Amino acid sequence: MVLQKRLDYGFSGYQVPVVPRASRSARGRGPVQKKACGKNLHHIVGININGKQGDEEESINDHHREKRSCNLNSFARVPGLQVNHGHQSCMLKEFLPTHENCCLNISSVGSKTCDKSEGICFAETSSRVVGNSSCLGVLSEGRGLDIPEKKEEDGLSTRRNERIHHVIGSLGGLMETDQRFDSLKTYVKVPLLEDCMNLGSFPRGSAGKKVVSKDDDENFVRCTQLSTITEGCVTQPFMRDQRIKKVSASKRTSDFKGTSPFGNDGNCNRRDNFFHERSERMYPFKKRKFFNQSPSSTSDRGFQYEDILKSSDGRVDDDNYGAAIAASSSTAGRQSCRRSQDCNVKLSIKSFRVPELFIEIPETATIGSLKRTVMQAVTSILGDELHVGILLQGKKVRDDSKTLIQTGISQDEKRQRLGFMLEPRCTQSSPPQYNEDSSFLSTDSSLQSSRLQLGVYNASREPPQIKVESCVGGNLSVVPSLADTSTDNTNAKCRALVAVPSISMKALAMVPFHRKSRNPDFVQRRIRRPFSVSEVEALVQAVEKLGTGRWRDVKLRAFDNAKHRTYVDLKDKWKTLVHTARISPQQRRGEPVPQELLDRVLAGHAYWSQQQSIKAV
């Protein structure tokens, strides 16, 4: 069983680092993968119940619906959980060193069982509930942890401690909890199993899983396992900042004598501007062009998250992808295996499947040369750029330190779904400097220019030409985007991202872009970063003064610090603004631009168009 929780960070134009949930949606009941415009990303978490990992295809909704009335007598127990609720994040580990089995107790329900020797039972609630519930407290060994009370009117607690929800107790209590929370339009959902749980079965030493959760509009609670993110890959900011400092002033500027009705300082007497960088153009890649490229990868030009999911994890989830495993077991029972160090797990790998290869070969080539070509491609990627990935029930197992027991591989039923795959090795690089404070928000342009790549190209051989593409499976990234000129809500969103540095930074520390990739054909589209109102304001003001057609000056004037806004972007934005201003408000999409601004856009556009025509004459 998998608890699933939909994340909605509410970011605008930000990508949240996630490991996508397995694309296989169980019997069509699973949450639909939305087009992820930086939010509403789906995650999954595997919860061990009764020592078994649940069926991935099982819907928590259905399960809950079906089983909630049962006599509950089991726990979902996940040690070392991190619970992130929305913008808040708190590592349970902060409590664990001294309170190893602290739990959040719902005292009004009266279930407070702390089993010190066992793993931590886990349940989650929506943050709303927690924010409103004064009855929540954190207990450790029956004693409350020192967590101050808090009062907030909005019910959305920002007190981080309240974001930790650990429920240890009888499921009878959880049942009541559920009902109680139902009345609050929220849920506490714990995987429910009718059979009794073996309390001693959960390995204590297993690595902590991180659970990111946040209630969505429907108060639908899912969990997210982000432990795999730690091996996620994100590109190094490889968009080189091609700054060219120009000492000489722009010739265009010096003879610009236009007068703008919108302001007097339109004349660029700001020579200092031209000591700044001139070009911010960030087109490090050429668009990948492949004859067999999936059309979907370019169909949504707004955002490619879903494409990434499809191209990476979707493949992972493909039964045909991983190596088939014939698991012969010497099981005399799981329990005996656990007790015995010598209990070996026998696996027989039938075959590996090599990651996707792209080969270009002339049609006049012979079969023999085709074989050689394929062989060359295969051997080249097998050379040193692949490593083995482990798939268990469609999900990657990334924690190399886990034992087979801990991952469940030693179990028969799991082993049936154990898979191996070859995947490109991620070249690690040092993470970008990061401060949890606002410095992250304002200055680190390297983050802003981080790029994500889906796969890896190896060098081409010739002739015939070989292009090898392999997929970085399941690794997604965060690319925090920060409009330097923007304020208010944008920054709030930024901070929200900062609030979960353990996620974003880990993701950012990874490099999905294969360093050895020398193929310049592989290019990732920049992430979409909608203009905020304040950015629009700045743009309009600059254009009013400088006019259309001097986008570099506009950039320097109003967006000099917004590294991710190129003058082309500004030109494009102005174009869309003009279009937006001309259409009816009902037809407009995205964050509404104040009509006042749109009016100014029209006025400015009309004026400068006129000026251009006059100048032409």
Partner DNA sequence: TTTAGGG
Partner DNA sequence: CCCTAAA
CB closer to DNA, 190 vs 577: 577
Binding residue for DNA, selected from 112, 180, 525, 588, defined by CB under 7 A: 525
CB count, 10 Å around CB of 50?
Answer: 19
In angstroms, give the least distance from the CB of 16 to DNA.
Answer: 16
Sort residue 254 into left (φ over 0), alpha (ψ -120 to 50) or beta: alpha
Binding residues among 235-264 for DNA as defined by CB under 7 A: 242, 244, 252
Give start and end residues of each alpha helix (H) in 286-354. 296-299, 305-308, 314-316, 334-339
Q: What would the two tokens of residue 452 be?
A: 């994500």
Using DSSP's 3-state secondary structure scheme, residue 612 falls into: helix
Residue 560 to residue 322: CA distance in whole angstroms: 48
Size of the site for DNA (CB under 7 A): 33
Nearest to 503 by CA among 43, 31, 12: 43
CB closer to DNA, 303 vs 352: 303
CB closer to DNA, 129 vs 527: 527
Binding residues among 11-40 for DNA as defined by CB under 7 A: 13
Q: What would the two tokens of residue 612 be?
A: 């251009």
Binding residue for DNA, selected from 571, 580, 598, 600, defined by CB under 7 A: 571
Nearest to 58 by CA among 29, 87, 38, 78: 29
CB closer to DNA, 189 vs 571: 571
Binding of residue 528 to DNA (CB under 7 A): yes
Using DSSP's 3-state secondary structure scheme, residue 125 falls into: strand
Q: Read off the DSSP letter of residue 271.
A: G
279-298 footprint of DNA as x/- string (CB under 7 A):
x-x-x-xxx-----------
CB closer to DNA, 409 vs 452: 452
In angstroms, give the least distance from the CB of 472 to DNA.
Answer: 19
**Segment contacting DNA by CB under 7 A, of 27-35, 175-183, 334-342, 570-578:** 570-578
* Separation of CA 595 from chain center: 34
- DSSP per residue, 580-592: HHHS-GGG--SSP
Burial bucket for residue 498 (CB in 10 Å: 0-12, 13-18, 19+): buried
In angstroms, give the least distance from the CB of 546 to DNA.
Answer: 9
CB closer to DNA, 348 vs 609: 609
Q: What would the two tokens of residue 469 be?
A: 């593409």
Q: What would the two tokens of residue 292 be?
A: 């067999």
CB closer to DNA, 334 vs 529: 529
339-358 footprint of DNA as x/- string (CB under 7 A):
--------------------
In angstroms, give the least distance from the CB of 279 to DNA.
Answer: 3
Binding residues among 477-506 for DNA as defined by CB under 7 A: 481
* Separation of CA 516 from chain center: 24
Binding residues among 529-558 for DNA as defined by CB under 7 A: 529, 548-553
**Segment contacting DNA by CB under 7 A, of 173-181, 376-384, 533-541, 566-574:** 566-574
Residue 439 to residues 351, 431, 434, 490: CA-CA distances in angstroms?
49, 15, 8, 15
**Segment contacting DNA by CB under 7 A, of 117-125, 277-285, 313-321, 365-373:** 277-285
Residue 218 to residue 238: CA distance in whole angstroms: 40
Q: What would the two tokens of residue 497 be?
A: 């991202």
Residue 550 to residue 76: CA distance in whole angstroms: 61
Q: Using the structure block, give the residue that is written with the tokens 């802003």.
A: 448
In angstroms, give the least distance from the CB of 10 to DNA.
Answer: 18
Q: Using the structure block, give the residue that is written with the tokens 């609030």.
A: 499
CB closer to DNA, 85 vs 451: 451
CB closer to DNA, 242 vs 610: 242
CB closer to DNA, 196 vs 244: 244
Q: What would the two tokens of residue 457 be?
A: 């190209």
In angstroms, give the least distance from the CB of 253 to DNA.
Answer: 9
**Segment contacting DNA by CB under 7 A, of 96-104, 314-322, 432-440, 564-572:** 564-572
Q: Check the CA dihedral 487-490-492-494 and report its sign.
A: negative
Binding residue for DNA, selected from 318, 576, 602, 603, defined by CB under 7 A: 576
CB count, 10 Å around CB of 616?
Answer: 6
- DSSP per residue, 179-213: HHHHHTT--EE----SSPP-TT-S-TTSPPPEEEE
Nearest to 454 by CA among 280, 241, 285: 285
Give ∠ CA 368-370-373 in degrees, rounded to 5: 110
301-320 footprint of DNA as x/- string (CB under 7 A):
x-------------------
**Segment contacting DNA by CB under 7 A, of 22-30, 395-403, 560-568, 597-605:** 560-568
CB closer to DNA, 402 vs 564: 564
Instruction: Extract the runs of DSSP E, i.e. beta strands, from 252-385.
Output: 325-328, 346-349, 357-359
CB closer to DNA, 37 vs 78: 37
CB closer to DNA, 29 vs 281: 281
Binding residues among 207-226 for DNA as defined by CB under 7 A: none
Residue 527 to residue 449: CA distance in whole angstroms: 9
126-165 footprint of DNA as x/- string (CB under 7 A):
----------------------------------------
**Segment contacting DNA by CB under 7 A, of 173-181, 263-271, 526-534, 581-589:** 526-534
At residue 217, what are phi and psi to the nearest 5 degrees?
-65, -35
Residue 209 to residues 82, 90, 120: CA-CA distances in angstroms?
7, 13, 11
Binding residue for DNA, selected from 103, 139, 478, 527, defined by CB under 7 A: 527
CB closer to DNA, 348 vs 610: 610
**Segment contacting DNA by CB under 7 A, of 313-321, 361-369, 569-577, 586-594:** 569-577
CB closer to DNA, 427 vs 576: 576
In angstroms, give the least distance from the CB of 553 to DNA.
Answer: 6
Q: Check the CA dihedral 430-431-436-441 and report its sign.
A: positive
The footprint of DNA (CB under 7 A) covers 13, 242, 244, 252, 278-279, 281, 283, 285-287, 301, 481, 523, 525-529, 548-553, 564, 567-569, 571-572, 575-576
